[in-house]
Chain A
Amino acid sequence: MFVSYKWLQDYIDLTGVTATELAEKITKSGIEVEGVEILNDGIKGVVVGHVLEREQHPNADKLSKCLVDVGEEQPVQIICGAPNVAKGQKVAVATVGAVLPGNFKIKRAKLRGEESNGMICSLTELGMEGKVVPKEYSEGIFVFPAEAEVGVDALALLNRDDEVLELSLTPNRADCLSMLGVAYEVAAILGREVKLPETDLQSSTEKAADYVKIVVDAKEDNPLYVAKIIKNVEIAPSPLWMQTRLMSAGIRPHNNVVDITNYILLEYGQPLHAFDYDRLGSKEILVRRANDGEKFVTLDDTERTLTSEHLVITNGTVPVALAGVMGGANSEVTPDTTTVLLESAYFIGGTVRKASKDHGLRSEASARFEKGVDPNRVRVAGERAAYLMAKYANGEVLEGAAEADTLSVEPAVVSITLEKINRVLGTDLGMKDVKEIFDRLQFTVIVEQGTITVTAPTRRGDIKIEEDLLEEVARLYGYDNIPKTLPIGSSTPGRLSEYQKKRRFVRQYLEGVGLYQAVTYSLTSEEKATQFALEKRETIRLAMPMSEERSILRLSIMPQLLEVLKYNSARQNDSLGVYETGAVFLANGEDLLPVEKEHLAGAITGLWHSHSWQGEKKAVDFFVVKGILEGMFAKLGLAEGVQYVQAKVEGMHPGRTAEIILNGEKIGFVGQVHPSVQKELDLKDTYVFELSLKAVLEADAPVLQYEAIPRFPSITRDIALVVNKETVSGTLKEIILSSGAPLLKEVQVFDLYEGDRMEEGKKSIAFSLKYVDPERTLTDEEVTKVHDRVLEALKEQAGAVLRG
């Protein structure tokens, strides 16, 4: 809402309060003022001039040579490019030395050989927005009414010596979508009186009710419809002061009748519509729901197809307006209109919203209906408009109005105790303070003992419950005056849950080993949503996505991380490790919430280690990433329960991928991205993992318990085994551990050979076995006995023989 500082003074005395001070006060007490625009900022030296002569420029088709009286001793010659400049006009002239917006200085100049002493201005050249300039002047200079006095400040005449406050209104304060509403608000802030506009007039002896009958079929959508009739109007431009006020508020002037309806919309917040009575073609207004498929041409000359959810004003048969949204071309006011039917009605917000949304027609009027208008202003707004039409369109206002009224207007009555006010706000107010606040708001109050009962005026439809009164008190008492305290009473322990603590640890650990944390989008494309998914499920699609690229909820994090690597790789960062923790979404059936599982994914590409001047370089490989995971599981006390099993995962290298099993359950995978995928993304060798973080963080880990340090020496035996190529070290290790128990404490791979010196299809793996007895020193014989058992088991279960 744009509020003119000058206009506001019609309703309230602002003596001693500048526009900027007012803005500050309004902001502090509840409505944010986003800015204060000084309309004539940076403009000077523009006066009203009288075009005495106009002739064609001798050397240019599109220029005129004008002799203009600017109130000085001698008229001046000005070259003008506007197509509409004509002899006899009163125009805005930027004289030599004037400054226009953008610090544009007017100098004496020669245009195509002819002297020019100034510039005749259009409204946009004076800093006004093109969309509010009256259509007839949109392509050229503005022309003042003939009575404008030559030599006076043109900007003052255009009401540009004004400041406009831009109010950012929250939905509960629709009352301030009107100058009067703002006046009441300012009155409450300043403690001053509101002056109401003039509405009294001499009406004719004819009765409006004799001209038209109002029938409302859809009473729930339209509980009150008031029509006034104004005869013998003369359509003409509205007075300059009205046009300029509309323009400052962002509305383009049309003619006196239409401008008056818009002026009332701004003044009272009540949208009005003016029909050409004669073009209605009946003596009836019937308000009803439209028929499905009914066609109607709105006054923007667009044919609309209506449904039974839309409310229409009809002449008894065909629609003449889409209620609260836009009038029809068939009944629009034209220059020939003589009798106006003025509609002032109360339409229900939801109905108007549906129509304005369906037809993409959001207007100043629809916005006000949607947020709710004051039921008590419907009639008075009509009276005021009729008054202005009598005054500025020479109309004859018929007596009374034709009406259909089923609206019950019950002002809200709300009580609150002083004790509650002070208890909730933390203040120490007295009843006198509170009463004074409601008095300033012009709410009716009754004080009984400790309780205050308030009757809120209907313009403040947002006042319904105790808390609304609390808010009024708080904001007008001032938040600056409310003390600062901290909650007292039973204390609560502040802490993270075990899960949250462990998650923080995992993040820190991964960053400690060199990965950067990424945060990517949960929404992705159909194609990417299921790539690398640990569990195959139906995808979850948005009902109305903004793009295909962000239409599906992800089932895995990996595709996004690969995108991150691709993005960085393309920007000369082709060696990088990233990780992300975040939810993936598993569909659960039509009307159920999906299962959200927190995943952990990591991706490393390019060189893992490089020490430039020492020439050390190591590309990431499977065992780098596996090592990172092993470290993490060890830190979480889960190492014992984790297994890596060779596996095939779509999109992954078939020979370099393992599933991760935790306590017998598959929780994720680790491995190299398939070379064809790497190539597609233009990545170097890339190793990744993705697993269910939830499964990891919720797994039971053994409680930390001290284990005695062995007091007796261990005996180590190294063995080199020849096995089939397919035999994996993990299998051998398990055989060794189980057959060597309990003396065998540790087993480690220390060599792997698959070279030419091996028999076809064979490889050699060497293990180091460590035997310890915590109670005594082992003898060689004892170890040999167990060691032989291990070798036997290896031979039997894996066909492993000692390398000769």
Chain B
Amino acid sequence: MQERLKELQEEAIQKIEQSASLKELNDIRVAYLGKKGPITEVLRGMGKLSAEERPVMGALVNEVREAIAVKIEAKQKALEEAAVLEKLASESIDVTLPGSPVKVGNHHPLTRIIEEIEDLFIGMGYQVAEGPEVEQDYYNFEALNLPKGHPARDMQDSFYITEEILLRTHTSPVQARTMEKHQGKGPIKIICPGKVYRRDNDDATHSHQFMQIEGLVVGENIRMSDLKGTLEVFAKKMFGDDREIRLRPSFFPFTEPSVEMDISCKICGGHGCSVCKKTGWIEILGAGMVHPNVLEMAGYDSKKYTGFAFGMGPERIAMLKYGVDDIRHFYTNDVRFLKQFSKHE
């Protein structure tokens, strides 16, 4: 009997090792360990054994069963693992195929520029002020030291609705309104972005509607040197630390002294090229010390208060910064243009 059991064990182990599928393995389990299997049969034959032999044989039977069961278990695990690997192998994909597209739009380039400038000045303690696009002649001109009949306010250049109402030609009326609201008390530190309108024929460099962003600082000790320092911070953050700035005297009715700011040309490094008209400098904005008439009209004592203001065109800045060559692109909204401004910077 002992030999028979050993024989059965070896036979079963061999079959287990040779089995190739879980089904085959299960058949082996049923065949050797099942109620009708040969080992059970051996057990049945134990009745003929002596009382001393019986427990010895019983232990041997269990040993054999245990050995076969352990082997089946191990083989089953191996087969299952192989099956998983095979399944995974069959599931392999082409990872170079494109991903499922995520729909994302982006800011219009002008909004991008405006928000960048807003954030830059917010960081310096400015607030963002807004005002109406349709304005009273008073706020658009008179309050800014441009009385009626002043040559700089030619009717031909503005879109009037009535004699007293027009589309604002700059965002400066927001400054006038803000100063008026402060009732002669400082300090004021604002940045005013928005749409403005002028009677220009639309072409590569002109647009009847365009954006402007202006800044105003009014306080008791605001100096020309503060304007120069502020503009330099702005220019370096906006255009790069390697840019130089230069102020040139200029004229605007609402500031005195008035200046224009140039930045050094990036393309030629200041040596002169076609972009900078061979000057090495590119004009960026107009600025100046707030004209005393403007302060007085808004209720400020110009003996006590001084201020500076500056204004620039986001279109021009976007054109310089991104190399856009035609202002009309900003208002055509061609998606092939718009989507070029998606990169986070």
Interface set of A (CB-CB < 8 Å, partner B):
27-32, 35, 170-173, 349-350, 353, 370-371, 423-427, 465-468, 470-471, 474-475, 479-480, 482-497, 500, 504, 507, 510-523, 540-546, 550, 553, 564, 567-568, 571, 573, 576-579, 582-583, 585, 590-591, 593-594, 596, 608-614
A172 to B289, CA, bound (A): 16
The answer to whether B292 touches A467 (Cβ under 8 A) is yes
B219 cross-chain contacts in A, Cβ below 8 A: 487, 489-490
The answer on a CB contact under 8 Å between A514 and B104 is: yes
- B199 interfacial contact with A, CB 8 Å: yes
Q: List 16 A-B contacts (CB under 8 A).
A: A27-B248, A32-B250, A32-B260, A350-B149, A426-B226, A468-B256, A491-B125, A510-B105, A511-B104, A511-B107, A517-B105, A519-B333, A522-B133, A550-B208, A593-B132, A613-B98
On whether the beta carbons of A483 and B122 are closer than 8 Å, the reply is: no
Contact, CB under 8 Å: B257 / A485: no
Report the nearest A residue to B121, measured CB to CB: A494
Chain A hits for B130, CB < 8 A: 500
Known: A32-B250, A487-B219, A516-B106. A573 touches B291 (CB 8 A): no
Do A516 and B335 touch (CB < 8 A)? yes
Contact indicator B108/A519 (Cβ below 8 Å): yes
Interface string of B204-221 (1 = CB under 8 A from A): 000011000000010111
One of B1-9, B24-32, B72-80, B161-169 at the interface: B161-169
List residues of B whose CB falls within 8 A of some A CB: 97-98, 100-101, 103-108, 110-111, 115, 118, 121-128, 130, 132-136, 149, 151-152, 155, 159-162, 164-165, 167, 187-189, 195, 197, 199, 201, 208-209, 217, 219-226, 228-230, 232-233, 246-251, 256-260, 277, 289, 291-292, 306, 330-336, 338-339
Let me know if A173 and B251 touch, CB within 8 A.
yes
| CA–CA, A540 and B135, complex, Å | 13
Tell which of B197, B209, B226, B251 touches A172, judged by Cβ atoms closer than 8 Å: B251
A680 to B230, CA, bound (A): 52
Interface residue SS majority, chain B: mixed
Q: Which of B105, B110, B167, B232 contacts A484 (CB 8 A)?
A: B232
B223 touches A471 (CB 8 A): no
Assess A522 versus B195: contact at CB under 8 Å? Given A28-B248, A424-B289: yes
Contact call B111/A517, Cβ cutoff below 8 A: yes
Q: Which of B97, B199, B228 has the most CB of A within 10 A?
A: B228
Q: Are B226 and A504 in contact (CB under 8 A)?
A: no
* A590 CB contacts on chain B under 8 angstroms: 162
B224 touches A519 (CB 8 A): no
Tell me the bound Cα distance from A488 to B149 in angstroms. 38
B221/A171 in contact, CB under 8 A: no
3 nearest CB pairs, A to B = A426-B225, A514-B103, A170-B251
Least distance between B130 CB and chain A CB atoms (Å): 8
A171-B151, A596-B133 known; A487 and B226 CB under 8 Å?
yes
Q: Which of A353, A593, A608 has the most CB of B within 10 A?
A: A593
Distance A495 CA – B247 CA, assembled complex (angstroms)? 29
Question: A28–B259 Cα gap in the complex (Å)?
Answer: 10
Query: In the complex the two chains form, is A568's CB within 8 Å of B122's CB?
Result: no
| A interface: dominant SS | mixed
With contacts A479-B247, A492-B187 taken as known, whether A516 is within 8 angstroms of B105 at the C-beta atoms is yes
Closest CB in chain B relative to A373 CB, distance in Å: 14
Task: Judge whether B228 and A482 touch: CB under 8 Å.
Answer: yes
Give, as a whole number of angstroms, the nearest-CB distance from B181 to chain A.
Answer: 14
The answer on a CB contact under 8 Å between A170 and B250 is yes
Alpha-carbon distance between A745 and B283 when the two chains are bound, in angstroms:
63
Chain B residues in 8 Å Cβ range of A471: 249, 256-258
Number of A-B contacts (CB under 8 A): 250
Q: How far is the CA of A114 from the CA of B201 in the complex (A)?
A: 53
Asked if residues B336 and A511 are in contact (CB atoms below 8 Å), the reply is: no
Known interface pairs A171-B151, A568-B335; 10 further A-B residue pairs with C-beta atoms within 8 A, sorted by A's residue number? A424-B306, A514-B105, A516-B338, A522-B209, A541-B161, A571-B336, A573-B335, A573-B336, A583-B133, A611-B101
Q: Which residue of A lies closest to B219 (CB)?
A: A489
**Of the candidates A482, A495, A514, which one forms a contact with B224 in the assembled complex, judged by CB atoms under 8 Å apart?**
A482
* In-complex Cβ contact of B223 among A424, A578, A591 (8 A): A424
Point out the residues of chain A lying under 8 angstroms from B339, CB to CB: 516
Set A512, A545, A579: member contacting B104, Cβ < 8 A = A512
User: How far apart are B331's CB and chain A's nearest CB, in angstroms?
Assistant: 6
Which among B217, B258, B292, B330 has the greatest number of chain A C-beta atoms within 10 A? B258
On whether the beta carbons of A577 and B105 are closer than 8 Å, the reply is yes
Quick one: closest B residue to A517, CB to CB? B108
User: Given the complex, which residues of B lie within 8 Å of A465, measured CB to CB?
Assistant: 256, 292
Contacts A474-B224, A507-B107, A519-B111 hold; do A479 and B122 have CB atoms under 8 A apart? no
Provide the residues of chain A in CB contact with B104, threshold 8 Å: 511-512, 514
B330 near A489 (CB under 8 angstroms)?
Answer: no
- Asked if B233 and A486 make an inter-chain contact with CB atoms under 8 angstroms apart, the answer reads yes
Cα distance A515–B108 when bound, in Å? 11
Contacting pair B225 A504 (CB below 8 A): no
Given known pairs A514-B104, A519-B110, A571-B334, the reply for A423 and B221 (CB within 8 Å) is yes
Verify A593–B134 contact, CB threshold 8 A.
yes
Given A578-B333, A613-B97, A500-B128 contact (CB < 8 Å): yes
B187: A residues at CB distance < 8 A: 489-490, 492
Cα distance A608–B128 in the bound complex, in angstroms: 36
Which residue in chain A gives the minimum CB-CB distance to B130?
A: A500
Cα distance A553–B201 when bound, in Å? Answer: 18
Contacts of B132 in A (CB 8 A): 593, 596
Minimal beta-carbon separation of A354 from chain B (angstroms) = 10
Provide the bound-state CA to CA distance between A611 and B102, in Å. Answer: 10
Could you tell me the distance in whole angstroms from the C-beta of B102 to the nearest C-beta in chain A?
Answer: 8
Q: How far is the CA of A523 from the CA of B333 in the complex (A)?
A: 16
User: Which residues from A are CB-within-8-Å of B165?
Assistant: 591, 593
Q: Write out the residue numbers on chain A whose beta carbons fall within 8 Å of the beta carbon of B134.
A: 540, 553, 585, 593-594, 596
Q: A467-B289, A543-B160, A614-B100 are in contact. Are A522 and B197 (CB under 8 A)?
A: yes
Min CB distance, A793 to chain B, in Å?
A: 41
Which chain A positions have C-beta within 8 A of B126?
492, 494
Q: Name the residue among B121, B124, B164, B223 with the largest chain A CB count within 10 angstroms.
A: B223
- Closest residue on chain B to residue A470 by CB atoms: B257
Q: State the CA gap A474–B123 with chains docked (Å).
A: 29
Q: Which of B98, B161, B220, B306 has the most CB of A within 10 A?
A: B161
Which residues of A are found within 8 Å of B232, using beta-carbon distances? 484
